[in-house]
Structure 1
Amino acid sequence: MTDPDSLPYRPCVGVMLVNREGLVFVGRRSGMAPPIGEDHAWQMPQGGLDKGEEPFEGALRELWEETNIRSVEPIAETAGWVTYDLPPELVGVAWKGRYRGQRQKWFALRFTGDDGEIDIATPAGGKHKPEFSEWRWESVDKLCSLIVPFKRASYEEVVAELAPKIGR
C-alpha cells in the first residue's frame, strides 16, 4: 500500500458559480455509485491545473470544460489553498496513484449568462468528456451536505470564506 504522506497534493482549482438569485451551480458526477451513492454525488466545478497555468485561468478553463460556461465575472477567491486527503482505499488508485489528495484554489464567479449557455452533455463545444450527468442551482447552505464525505471539510472551508462575499 502507498504511504499517503509520501505523496504530494494534486494542484487544482474550484469554482463557486453563483447566479443572479444567489444560488450556486452543482453538478451530479457521472458514474457515482455506492458506497458514495447519489446523495453525495453533487459538486461544484473543479479540476487540475495544467503545468504553468495560473489558477484563475485554470478555473475559467475548468468551468468551460465541464459546463460550457464563459459568461462570468469574478467575485472573490480563497485567500489560500484548501486541501483534502483521499480516503485510504483511493490512495494509490485515483490519479494513477500519484497524489494523496488535492490542493485547491477556489474562485467565486458570478454567472452573467442565461441557463441556455449551460451544456453539460457536450461541454467545451463538444471537445471535452462530460463530467456531470445533470445539474441544478442550489442554496449555498446545502452545498456541504451534497459532497462526498471525504471532501466535506474542504467544502465547509470554501463556503465559510466565499459565501459571505457572493451577495445572496
Structure 2
Amino acid sequence: MNALSDLPYRPCAGAMIVNRASQVFVGQRLDSTLEAWQMPQGGIDDGEDALTAAIREIGEETGIRPEHLSLLAEAPDELRYDLPDELIGKLWKGKWRGQRQRWFLFAFTGEESDIDIRTAHPEFRSWKWSDPAELPHMIVPFKRALYEAVLAAFDQVLRQHAGPKP
C-alpha cells in the first residue's frame, strides 16, 4: 500500500455527552497546541463493539463512569473524515488515512464532581460544557464536516432533550 488513498480508515467510536442544560462536553487535547475542542472518541479494540468502545473511551478520557450515562441515540450511519495530507503518515504510525466512526449520544446523569480528566492516561488538558451549535467552530477544521454530520444525526433528540425554553 503506497498510495495514500489505499490506506484504510481507523475504526473508532465517538461520544456526544449532553448535560441537564443541553450543553455538550468538550475537551482540549494534551497533544495539541491548537485552541481546538473535541468530544470524546477513540479506536475500537479488536473484538469490541462500538458502544462498548464509546463507553470505555468516555471513562478513559473524562473519568465519567457508565452509571452516570444514559444512552439517548446512536447515529444511523458510520461517519468518516480524512486526515489532511500533511498529517497522513505522521499520526497512528502511518497506518490510516482517517477515521470511520460510530457516534453515540449520552445524557450525563452525574454531578460535575463525577468528571475528572486526570485519568490513568490523560488525553485532555481542560474541559468545558458547550452549546451544541458551537461544536463545528471549535473543532480542528478538517473535522468540521464530521461534527456537522454528528449534530445533524442527533438534532431531533437534542431538541427533545432540551425541552421547551422558558
User: Normalising by the residue count of structure 1, what TM-score does the alignment of the two structures yield?
Assistant: 0.91
Distance 1:163 1:21 in 2: 15
Q: 1:49 aligns with which of 44, 53, 76?
A: 44
Q: Note if 1:77 corresponds to 2:69.
A: no
Q: What SS is found at the alignment partner of 2:88?
A: coil
The counterpart of 2:60, out of the listed 50, 58, 65, is 65
Residue 135 of structure 1 is matched in structure 2 by: 127
The whole-number CA distance in structure 2 between the counterparts of 1:163 and 1:44 is 16
Matched, 1:104 2:101: yes
| In structure 1, C-alpha distance between the alignment counterparts of 2:11 and 2:18, rounded to whole Å | 23
Percent identity reads 50
Are 1:140 and 1:163, in contact at CA under 8 Å, matched by a contact in 2?
no
User: Offset of 1:164 from its aligned partner?
Assistant: 2.1
Match of 2:148 in 1: 156
Partner of 2:32: 32
Determine if contact 1:7/1:100 at 8 Å carries over to the other structure. yes
* 1:115 aligned onto 2:112: yes
Post-superposition shift, 1:3? Answer: 2.2
Q: CA deviation at 1:30?
A: 1.0
Task: Determine whether 1:88 maps to 2:85.
Answer: yes
Inter-partner Cα distance in structure 2 for 1:87 and 1:66: 24
Once the two structures are superposed, what CA deviation does each residue of 1:88-129 show, in whole Å capped at 9, x if it has no partner? 0111111000000000000000000001010001x2xxxx31
Whole-Å Cα distance in 1 between the matches of residues 155 and 132 of structure 2? Answer: 7
User: Residues 10-47 of structure 1, C-alpha deviation per residue, up to 9 Å, x if partnerless?
Assistant: 000000000011000000111312xxx21xx2000000
Gap regions ≥5 residues in structure 2: none
Q: Which residue type is aligned with residue 102 of structure 1?
A: Q
What residue ranges of structure 1 are gaps of 5+ in the alignment?
Answer: none
User: Deviating runs (4+, > 2 A) in structure 1?
Assistant: none
Partners of 2:6 and 2:32 in 1: CA distance: 28
Q: Which letter maps to 1:89? A: E
SS class of match (1:42): coil
